[in-house]
Every structure is written in C-alpha cells, then in structure tokens.
Amino acid sequence: MRVLLVDDEKELVSTLAERLSFRGIAADWVTSGADALREMEENEYDIAVLDVKMPGMGGLELAREIRSRQPDLEIIFLTGHGSKTDFDEGVSQAGEGYYLAKPVDIEILVEKMNAVLG
C-alpha cells in the first residue's frame, strides 16, 4: 500500500507518515494541494489522505482535481474544522471518501485505509 498524505501542518503530516511507515505502509507527504498534484504525476498511490482546510487549494477542491485525473484513487479526508454536516455537503460535491476528525487515531486511519482497499 502506498499513501500520499496532504496537510498544511508539516509537523502533523510528517509524524503521520513516520507512524504509518512503522506499520509497513509506504507514505509520502506534502503540504499543499499543488505539491500533491505534482507528486501524483511522478508516483502512483493507492490512497490519498487529504486535509479539508488548507491555504490555497483545500482538500475538497483537491479531491475534485484528483478524481478528474485518477477516478479510482481512494480518498480519506481529515479535518479539525467545521461540522460533519458541512463536510458531508462538500464531500457530496467532491466524491466519496471517508471522513476522520483530527487528531486522527493512527489505528483508525490504518483500519479505514485497509477498508477502502478491500
């Protein structure tokens, strides 16, 4: 399994990548939507884990762009902002995906990643 983590909080995303690697999951990380799109041009991923609220291109906008390029890529969203209702409205526009609140429990994240990959 290869995962791309996208979050503007560098310390959070780098730590999350490290914790996934301890579990045998290859995880690359970037801190912006634009960097994520560049990374996806160079590498293949099974799952993208996207922060919903980021400066510039947010996670929902990024998800729409990803879906237009790689419709089968699985997406999991992370957020520490807004209500579940607001999020659900955004996801319905961006496509299906799991929603996890920050701070994310690493075991739950791994469980969701395994679930989306079947």
Distance, CA of 40 to CA of 22 (rounded, Å): 23
pLDDT digits (tens, 9 = 90+) for 79-115: 876 556 656 665 555 555 677 888 889 999 999 999 8
Is the Cβ–Cβ distance between 41 and 13 less than 8 Å? no
What's the pLDDT band for 118 if we cut at 50, 70, 90?
confident
> What residues pair up with 91 in beta bridges, in sequence order?
none
Token readout for 37 is 């799109």
High-pLDDT (> 70) share of the chain, % = 86
Q: What is the pLDDT of residue 86?
A: 58
Domains contained in the chain, CATH given: 2-117 (3.40.50.2300)
For the chain, give the mean pLDDT.
Answer: 88
High-pLDDT (> 90) share of the chain, % = 69
With a cut of 60, say whether residue 38 has pLDDT above it: yes
